[in-house]
Structure 1
Amino acid sequence: MALSIEEQARIDLAATFRIVAHLGMHEAVANHFSAAVSADGKQFLINPKWKHFSRIRASDLLLLNADDSACAAHPEVDATAWSIHGQIHQRLPHARAVLHLHPVYTTAVACLAKPEVLPVDQNTARYFNRVAVDEMYGGMADTEAEGARLAGLLDGKRRLLMGNHGVMVIAPDIGEAFDDIWTLERACQILVTAWSTGQPLRVLSDEVAEKTAKGWEKITDFSRRHFEEMKQLMIDVDPSLLD
Structure 2
Amino acid sequence: MNAVLQPRARAMHPDEWKARVELAAAYRIFDMLGWAEMIYNHITVRVPESVSGSEKQFLINPFGLHYSEVTASNLLKIDVHGNKLDVDNPWPVNPAGFTIHAAIHEAVPAAHCVMHTHTTNGLAVACTEGGLAQNNFYSAQLHGMVAYHDFEGITVHADEAPRLLASMGDKPLMILRNHGLLAAAATLPLAFVHLWTLQRACDIQVTQAALGRAIPIPEAVAIRTTHDSFQFDQRFGAGQDVFDAMTRLVEQRFGDGYKN
Q: TM-score, normalised to structure 2's length?
A: 0.84
1:35 partner amino acid: V
Matched length: 236
Q: 1:176 and 2:190 equivalent?
A: yes
Q: 1:239 and 2:256 equivalent?
A: yes
* Residue in structure 1 matched with residue 153 of structure 2 by the alignment: 139
Q: Deviations over 1:7-29 (max 9, x none)?
A: 11111110111011111111111
The question of whether the paired residues in 2 share the 8 Å contact of 1:41 and 1:89 is answered with: no
Q: 1:58 and 2:75 equivalent?
A: no
* Bigger Rg, structure 1 or 2: 2
Q: 1:130 and 2:145 equivalent?
A: yes
The 3 A distance-change label for structure 1 pair 120 and 108 is: same
Q: Deviations over 1:41-93 (max 9, x none)?
A: 82111111121001110111111121x56449x97121332322222222112
The question of whether the paired residues in 2 share the 8 Å contact of 1:35 and 1:98 is answered with: yes
2:226 partner amino acid: A
1:214 partner amino acid: H
Matched position secondary structure for 1:9:
helix
Task: State how far apart, in whole Å, the 2-side matches of 1:83 and 1:190 are.
Answer: 30
Task: State how far apart, in whole Å, the 2-side matches of 1:58 and 1:16 are.
Answer: 11
The question of whether the paired residues in 2 share the 8 Å contact of 1:132 and 1:154 is answered with: yes
* Residue in structure 2 matched with residue 215 of structure 1 by the alignment: 228
The question of whether the paired residues in 1 share the 8 Å contact of 2:82 and 2:94 is answered with: no
Matched position secondary structure for 1:122:
coil
- Following superposition of structure 1 onto structure 2, how do residues 36-185 of structure 1 map, counting pairs within 5 Å? 36-39=46-49, 42-66=56-80, 70-71=83-84, 76-115=92-131, 117-135=132-150, 137-185=151-199
Identity in percent: 30
**Runs of 4+ with >6 A deviation:** none
* Residue in structure 2 matched with residue 6 of structure 1 by the alignment: 16
- Of residues 9, 32, 35, the one that matches 1:22 is 32
**Segment of structure 1 superposing worse, 33-42 or 153-162:** 33-42
Matched position secondary structure for 1:182:
helix
CA RMSD of aligned residues (A): 2.1
The alpha-carbon deviation at position 129 of structure 1 amounts to 2.0
Matched position secondary structure for 1:44:
strand
Q: TM-score, normalised to structure 1's length?
A: 0.89
What residue ranges of structure 1 are gaps of 5+ in the alignment? Answer: none
The question of whether the paired residues in 1 share the 8 Å contact of 2:43 and 2:113 is answered with: yes
